[in-house]
Amino acid sequence: MVNDAITVDDLNRHVPPYHHNPSAWSQRIPICLLAFVAAGISAHLSLYQWGLIETVWDPVFGEDSDKVLKSSAAKKMYAILGIHDAALGVLAYLGDAILGFAGSTRRWQYRPWLVILFGIDVIPLGIVSAILVVLQATVIGYWCFLCLVTAVISLILVYWAWDEVRASLKYLSIVWKETGSKRTLWRAFWGYREDAMDHAAETLLSRQTS
């Protein structure tokens, strides 16, 4: 039978190879707060792209930000996506924050689908932000200070979020290796509790940290 008597200490056990619990609030709250900051910055950029404000704040590159945000590359992205890239950033960063707050401090086991969805939101956003910075330098030829700030934030979020995604993927990998059952793996992905799944989690938790 599955043991439901889980204590706070059990929920907060560190997950090898890390010396911390990647689902702990101390790990996730900074991600959420930083995502809210990035969402606020993106909202400011979005308002400018939509023409709702006349200027965009840039203490470093000045009017270069205007040229980046209203460049031909930005217009092409709008034509393809039907939404400005900054507005898309607002949605993505808010998604990071909301998904970061959801679930318990052992969601790497109890909600793998949530952790993986969180990773899908965070990691591609970081990659896209890096690509947009490269485009600023190689295609547009101008720099946007706040765009660079959000790109740096995106990369930091990727770095902070990866350990939790890795923990969930490793847990699911152990479930598969120990059971060889697609059904059990699927149920583990959705967070069901069974003896085989708890055993897989304990196998991971009992490993030595690096």
Instruction: Name the amino acid, one letter, at 124.
Output: P
In the chain, what are the domain boundaries?
A: 21-162
Per-residue pLDDT of the chain (210 residues; tens, 9 = 90+): 455 545 555 788 899 999 999 999 999 999 999 999 999 999 999 999 999 999 999 999 998 899 888 888 888 888 888 888 889 889 999 999 999 999 999 999 999 999 999 999 998 878 887 787 777 777 788 888 999 999 899 999 999 999 999 999 999 999 999 999 999 999 999 999 899 999 999 999 998 765
Tens-digit pLDDT profile for residues 71-108: 888 888 888 888 888 898 899 999 999 999 999 999 99
| CATH, domain 21-162, list 1.10.230.10, 3.40.50.620, 1.20.1440.130, 3.40.50.300 | 1.20.1440.130
Burial bucket for residue 100 (CB in 10 Å: 0-12, 13-18, 19+): buried
CB 15 within 8 A of CB 204: yes
How is 108-122 classified by DSSP, letter by letter? HHH-HHHHHHHHHHH
